[in-house]
Chains A and B, each alone.
Chain A
Amino acid sequence: NAGVMQNPRHLVRRRGQEARLRCSPMKGHSHVYWYRQLPEEGLKFMVYLQKENIIDESGMPKERFSAEFPKEGPSILRIQQVVRGDSAAYFCASSNLGAGELFFGEGSRLTVL
């Protein structure tokens, strides 16, 4: 499967634990975006990364959230000390520079108990 791969598809955490969501972009894509979708809402931009660089993190909460896209391996969205309000679907998308089209993964659903 050459598409955007996200795992885990479902993740359950208790309040205060850490959540790590992974995203492998499409082959040949070096741009990764993370979005959050709350119930009954559209996707909200969180962060845009290229390999080893954060380009735009204007949509990321200032605390507890971080993202990385290392030279090797998938992009990671990390949420520390999760709270119930973090429960959402987190989507990753990738693109090839200039293509103007983002290809989405199937999303990771985080449930915080």
Chain B
Amino acid sequence: AQTVTQSQPEMSVQEAETVTLSCTYDTSENNYYLFWYKQPPSRQMILVIRQEAYKQQNATENRFSVNFQKAAKSFSLKISDSQLGDTAMYFCAFILISGGGADGLTFGKGTHLIIQP
């Protein structure tokens, strides 16, 4: 079974600072995707960024980037120039891509990120 661990229940930074959210996962498989989802107070799940395990290059989406260390099974999210609208719960998620189709996502317990003005 796959597991995803987020060791920071809550983080708080000042607006415009850079913050890094950590995530580790455990799997014996080689073919999978990793995601960071954002859940603002509206509770909608919004995809922030995605990384294919076979790609060595770290994914980047504007102010969001990841540090993917496959051997260490680590997948941290860096948010640069943080904004008040970044305040949300952030969930790290893992999905195994099997030959017969995609299985469900496994989520971490989340990190509550608070951006202070």
> Which chain A residue has the least Cβ–Cβ distance from B32?
A100
Count, chain B residues at interface, CB 8 A:
24
Q: Are B105's CB and A43's CB within 8 A? A: yes
In the complex the two chains form, what is the Cα distance from A95 to B105 in whole Å?
11
For the complex, is B107 an interface residue (Cβ under 8 Å from A)?
yes
Contact pick for B107, options A44, A89, A98, A106, CB 8 Å: A44
Tell me which residues across on chain A come within 8 A of B45, comparing CB atoms: 43, 91, 93, 104, 107
Contact pick for A45, options B33, B97, B106, CB 8 Å: B106
From known contacts A43-B91, A59-B104, infer whether A100 and B109 are also in contact, taking CB-CB under 8 Å.
no
> Which chain A residue has the least Cβ–Cβ distance from B46?
A104
From known contacts A100-B33, A101-B50, infer whether A41 and B110 are also in contact, taking CB-CB under 8 Å.
yes
From known contacts A33-B104, A42-B109, infer whether A100 and B43 are also in contact, taking CB-CB under 8 Å.
no
Tell me which residues across on chain A come within 8 A of B33, comparing CB atoms: 100-101
Contact pick for A42, options B52, B102, B108, CB 8 Å: B108
Count, chain A residues at interface, CB 8 A:
27
For the complex, is B11 an interface residue (Cβ under 8 Å from A)?
no
For the complex, is B26 an interface residue (Cβ under 8 Å from A)?
no
On B, residues with C-beta under 8 Å from A are: 33, 35, 37, 42-47, 50, 52, 91, 95, 97, 101-110
On A, residues with C-beta under 8 Å from B are: 31, 33, 35, 41-45, 48, 55-56, 59, 89, 91, 93, 95, 97-104, 106-107, 109
List 5 additional contacts besides A56-B104, A93-B45; criterion CB under 8 Å.
A31-B101, A45-B105, A93-B105, A95-B102, A104-B46
